[in-house]
Amino acid sequence: MDIQEIKSRLTLAEVIKHYGYKADKHNRINCPFHDDKTPSMQLYYKTHTAYCFSSNCRTNGKSLDVIDFVMHKENSSKHEAINKCKEILGYQKPDSKERYQPELSREQFLGNMYQYFRNAVHNSKPAKDYLQHRSLDHKKTEIGYNAGQFHHGARKDENVIARCL
């Protein structure tokens, strides 16, 4: 998830709510970045930005987007703020071990599965020997091979099997 995607998905209202603030009827809050007795931070929900009008504020003169707001609120680096924004959005990094790819079309998925089994022919001595015994060239043949690891071995993945079925 990149910065642009975060800014397009995470609203200022969600960030404000996450930190427990509630805007008044003029869309203002007491600024969380300095001691504020009257609301001096204006929230702009259309642009998803905030601006503190107090000269005592460390953000004075700067329009804050959602990432900047989180960065100042958490007193963190930009990188840490981006990760916090992802957390607020409920973003989970895809598991690198997971082979299931839900965004693929049925044709793409089945094409990938066919390629998986086709590659297995080239990686298996018993499969190559069988084809040679049948006078077939394993380099030219458009077939696949499953030694059993797909359904029963360490590569078993219930999501992939369900998608195949």
pLDDT digits (tens, 9 = 90+) for 41-79: 999 999 999 999 999 999 988 999 999 999 999 999 999
Same-domain check for residues 23 and 59: yes
Q: List strand residue ranges (DSSP E) for the chain, in order.
A: 28-29, 41-44, 49-52
Counting Cα atoms < 13 Å in the Cβ hemisphere of 117 gives 16
- Beta bridge partners, 42, equal 28, 51
CB atoms near residue 145 (< 10 Å)? 18
In this prediction, residue 94 has a pLDDT band, given cuts at 50, 70 and 90, of low
pLDDT reading at 148 higher than 70: no
Q: The domain spanning residue 76 has which CATH number?
A: 3.90.580.10
pLDDT of residue 154: 47
CB atoms near residue 85 (< 10 Å)? 24
Q: Do residues 1 and 58 make contact, with C-beta atoms less than 8 angstroms apart?
A: no
Q: How far is CA 10 from CA 23, 68, 74, 158, in A?
A: 17, 12, 17, 33
Q: Is residue 99 part of a domain?
A: no
Q: Is residue 126 part of a domain?
A: yes
Same-domain check for residues 54 and 128: no
pLDDT reading at 155 higher than 60: no
Residue pLDDT, tens place only, 61-71? 899 999 999 99
Same-domain check for residues 120 and 50: no
Overall pTM surpassing 0.85 (yes/no): no
Q: Is residue 96 part of a domain?
A: no
pLDDT reading at 121 higher than 60: yes
**Residue 113 belongs to what domain range?**
106-164
Same-domain check for residues 45 and 114: no
Same-domain check for residues 61 and 112: no
Q: Do residues 45 and 35 make contact, with C-beta atoms less than 8 angstroms apart?
A: no
Q: Is residue 97 part of a domain?
A: no
Same-domain check for residues 127 and 82: no
Q: Is residue 37 part of a domain?
A: yes
Distance CA 91, CA 110 (A): 28
pLDDT reading at 113 higher than 90: no
Considering its fold, how many domains does the chain have in total?
2
Q: Is residue 95 part of a domain?
A: no
- Beta bridge partners, 50, equal 43, 64
